[in-house]
Structure 1
Amino acid sequence: MGKRWFVLLLALVLVFITACSNGNNGNNGNGGGSNSANNGGNEGGSTPAPSGNDQEKPEEDTVVVWTYPVHGYYEDELKELVADIEQQYPHITVKTEMLSWAEGPQKFDVALNSGNPPDLYFHSVDGMYVNTGLAIQLDEYLTPEIKEDYYPGTLELGQIQGKQYGLPLYQYQWAWGGNKRILEEAGIDWQTIQKEGWTWTEFKEAAQQLTKQLPDGSTQYALVTDGTSLDFIEMLTRNNNMPDVLDEEGNFQWNDERIVETLTFIKDLLDAGHMPKETAAIAPAKRTEMFYAGQAAIISKAIPYYDVMIVNRNKDIDAGKVEGEKIDFVLLPVPHHDGAPPKTTMGGEGYVAFRQKNDKGEEHARNTFLVMEALSGAKAGNSANELALPFVRKSQAELFEGKGLGNPVNQEAAKIMAENISMPVVLKLDVDLAAKQKQFKEQVVKPNIQALFAGEKSPEDIAEEFKSRGQQILGP
């Protein structure tokens, strides 16, 4: 009897020792791979869950993305990118909404002002976003590998005063565009213009040759723009030594003879009949329609993507889907003031990340960044490829090497123009000043430019109003 009790007691002691030993190994994180919770489920050397807590399985999360039809096939491309994300991060569900260019900005502004923006929004970074306190500063999430992947100067396109709020997907580039047939019929040396640029005086001389009456009695204009947006005046002022309404130091620029000269240049084109007298009533879609119809030799805002758009349109004409004349597109630099250097409006567009007024926490912010990085990464570089725009990341350029869709002649012209880049001033401005500049443009510049187009105000009167309202809104 005593012997059986001794054997039983010895067995209990061994069980106790084994239990204590296993417990100590678990507490020291040294369980030899038998405890999957302590190893974050990282068996076989796979990537740990990105939750920041290796001892817990990441909770399921939904990231909301609002975006636009960035190019003709972006909706299908986005579905593939989202599928890749959800496969790589099974705990993340990505919910996307495709906005229209016409109504999307207003919908986003309403959501932002109510404190409920989407987690990710496709746009350039904006000081107004930062001013709400809802834009997520991304610096802590940027790894050295991500930073190294961006070409010099491109990651900065997503910064406000040196702090990262967005990840650019591509570099946009604004230019003018010409109809090759009309230019050559008028004897315009567009090849030299692409290489060397042209002055306002040279453009006026060319405009004389490009404006004429067509056989059907209609007018072929040298230039067409729309009366609703500000890109036309902004491109011209940048080519007259004014980077924007404000410069990087916050000094008001549109308050001296330079703005009078710029407004007068526009008025002269209108008075000479080189631009339609109904310009104030022309919508962006109508502007493009007039260019396609051969009613204007040059369109006032064009991007290298016109190469792709017009090639597709030409194919539709050949297939009988569209009526009209096929066009050979020529990318042209914006003419510059005779006493000023040429400047090309460029910047970055991509995704900006936001919190909501009911903050979903740090884990959700990290998941948002994971989605943001994937939507801006190597495979996402197809957007730059489709738009015939410069890549921002080395991995994008490597993946799409030799697959460019742009006309090589126009691509070379775009490279030359990029040497004269004018970086967005808002990236350097204090957020309050950036918001005031935006207010000035909407409340003062836009109605006055429309009044100029309509012949209701003179350049001098508009310049005086810019001065007085500028002091009210922007300060002395």
Structure 2
Amino acid sequence: MNELRKSLIALLTALVLVIVTACGSNAGNGGESGSGSTSESTNTGSAEAAKDTITVWTYPVYETYEADLKVLVDDFMKEHPNLTVKTEMLSWAEGPQKFDVALNAGNPPDLYFHAVDGAYASSGLELPIDSYLTPEIKNDYYPGTLELAQVQGVQYGLPLYQFQWGWGGNKRLLEEAGIDWQKIQKEGWTWSEFKAAAAKLTKKLPDGSTQYALTTDGTSLDFIELLTRNNGMPDALDENGKLQWNDNRILDTMTFIQDLMKSGYMPKETAALAPKKRTEMFYAGQTALISKAIPYYDVMIQNRNKDIDAGKVQGEKIDFVLLPVPHNDNAPAKAMMGAEGYLMFKQKKDQGEEHAKNAFLVMEALSGAKAGMASNQLVLPFVRDSQAKEFAGKELGQPANIEASKVMATTMQMPITLKLDNDTSAKMKQFKEQVVKPNMQALFAGEKTPDAILQDFVSKGKLIVGK
């Protein structure tokens, strides 16, 4: 009987070990695999520390980011042989929806690449990381950069880089028109100065087509957001949630846009232009300036020029010039900037504090010194001192554009969305999508006047925002 009891105990013990091992192998699966590419790095090293799996969902931040990310993950795995890091590369088009589905189901990945968002924080699954930040990490970030990944003062992410939105120029066309683009990069320019330049940049080409001074797309809100920021309004609402786009400042901004359209400085078909078409016009020399432009255009256009030399692409080579957005003559220049990086989440079936600590270790590895390759590729200011040192002398952007990006960073204004609660942020998004977007297309098309649009903003703003 004793022998039978011993056999049963041994059998039960073995079964428990099998179950524990199986459960451990599924830890942190971050949802089912989607349409993006997936890679998994695994080490079977030391058994002293508990094994764990950390999932990372990210995007092709730049052309070679997937390959560069794999190097970072492999290096991390060598230093932490008890951890498995599973990465999935999402598409920009479908990734956000895939993540939202996973979050709503209570099974997000451990780490997700995105700007901080109040909606994520209110889900109850996004993890604040203040308790994991060491003095060394805090001191490594440049002043004001960590704050770009906070919501109402709570740290929810580690910035990988500071994104910038500006305008871009064709150096040849600017110089042919006598525009001192180097001065503009250093000192900025006013709306009056831009109008004077636009008159010189707009002309008929030999084939009968028009070279426009400026082209933007009519399908997004980037243009109005860039201009209002440079007219004393950082966003549609202020930091107290009060509607801002309801006074003479928004009227002046829309009147400025209307004047550009009436003067022929922008294409009359702007309302129907998609971002791709705007870029095609820039490449074809049909517009001297584009809005919005990001510093990464510098590297992208350098690569395009190489393809033209190699016979892979047809067209004229372009020297890209990064320019600040002009500001109202009576308002200071303000750059549209923010941060994107990694955010940390738990699942509905919380895996505990040790798992969260492991996720933060991965988060820091993907945001550290060598991760500065993102800022370097995107021609953006580094967010950490260690990153700047790591890539000193290896900059990919043209020196003038690198310096222009730094100058723009000095005029950065903290995004209003970081100071609003989730409900107020949602109201602002609703106001922009339902009221601002159709009115901007009507303004571009000449179907509504700035005064009529202002009345719409005031009346519908009260209904949606409430103040």
TM-score category (smaller protein):
0.7 to 0.9
Distance 2:330 2:455 in 1: 23
Q: CA deviation at 1:284?
A: 1.5
1:210-243: CA deviation from partner (whole Å, max 9, x where unpaired)? 1122122222111111122222111100000001
Q: CA deviation at 1:57?
A: 4.3
1:456 corresponding residue in structure 2: 447
Q: Show the 5 A alignment for 1:405-424.
A: 405-424=396-415
Q: Show the 5 A alignment for 1:322-333.
A: 322-333=313-324
SS at match of 2:207: coil
1:347-385: CA deviation from partner (whole Å, max 9, x where unpaired)? 111111122233333222222211111110111111111
1:121 corresponding residue in structure 2: 112
Distance 2:296 2:365 in 1: 23
Q: Show the 5 A alignment for 1:6-405.
A: 57-405=48-396
SS at match of 1:383: helix
Rate the CA distance shift 1:278–1:106 in 2: closer, same or farther, 3 A.
farther
Distance 2:347 2:166 in 1: 37
State the identity as a percent.
72
Distance 1:133 1:419 in 2: 35
1:41 corresponding residue in structure 2: none
| Structure 1 counterpart of 2:278, one-letter code | R
| TM-score of the pair, normalised by structure 2 | 0.87
Distance 2:434 2:104 in 1: 19
Distance 1:161 1:266 in 2: 33
Distance 1:112 1:216 in 2: 54
Stretch of structure 1 that moved more, 90-99 or 198-207: 90-99
- Computed over aligned residues only, the root mean square deviation of the Cα atoms, in angstroms, reads 1.6
Query: Is the CA contact 1:127–1:435 (under 8 Å) kept in the aligned structure 2?
Result: no
SS at match of 1:381: helix
1:60-96: CA deviation from partner (whole Å, max 9, x where unpaired)? 3222212111111111101111112222222322222
Distance 2:131 2:187 in 1: 43
Q: CA deviation at 1:285?
A: 1.8
Unaligned runs of 5+ in 2: 1-46
Distance 1:347 1:300 in 2: 17
1:244-295: CA deviation from partner (whole Å, max 9, x where unpaired)? 1112232221111111111121122122221112222222222111111111
Distance 2:318 2:162 in 1: 26
Aligned residues: 421
Q: CA deviation at 1:296?
A: 0.7
Rate the CA distance shift 1:59–1:387 in 2: closer, same or farther, 3 A.
same
Stretch of structure 1 that moved more, 220-229 or 447-456: 447-456
Rate the CA distance shift 1:329–1:59 in 2: closer, same or farther, 3 A.
same
Query: Is the CA contact 2:344–2:359 (under 8 Å) kept in the aligned structure 1?
Result: yes
Distance 2:242 2:436 in 1: 17
Stretch of structure 1 that moved more, 264-273 or 312-321: 264-273
Rate the CA distance shift 1:57–1:447 in 2: closer, same or farther, 3 A.
farther
Query: Is the CA contact 2:77–2:83 (under 8 Å) kept in the aligned structure 1?
Result: yes
Rate the CA distance shift 1:118–1:454 in 2: closer, same or farther, 3 A.
farther
Distance 1:380 1:289 in 2: 32
Query: Is the CA contact 2:381–2:409 (under 8 Å) kept in the aligned structure 1?
Result: no
SS at match of 2:342: strand
Distance 1:261 1:270 in 2: 14
| Structure 1 counterpart of 2:347, one-letter code | Q
| Structure 2 counterpart of 1:224, one-letter code | T
Rate the CA distance shift 1:105–1:455 in 2: closer, same or farther, 3 A.
farther
SS at match of 1:153: coil
SS at match of 1:346: strand
Q: CA deviation at 1:388?
A: 1.2
Q: CA deviation at 1:108?
A: 2.4
| TM-score of the pair, normalised by structure 1 | 0.85
Distance 1:118 1:462 in 2: 42
1:443-465: CA deviation from partner (whole Å, max 9, x where unpaired)? 22222222222333222222222
Distance 2:219 2:104 in 1: 24
**Which is greater in Rg?**
1
Query: Is the CA contact 2:231–2:327 (under 8 Å) kept in the aligned structure 1?
Result: yes
SS at match of 1:317: helix
Query: Is the CA contact 1:384–1:390 (under 8 Å) kept in the aligned structure 2?
Result: yes
Stretch of structure 1 that moved more, 148-157 or 113-122: 113-122
Query: Is the CA contact 1:121–1:352 (under 8 Å) kept in the aligned structure 2?
Result: yes
- Displacement over 4 Å in runs of 4+: none
1:122-144: CA deviation from partner (whole Å, max 9, x where unpaired)? 11101111121221110111111
Is 2:428 aligned against 1:437?
A: yes
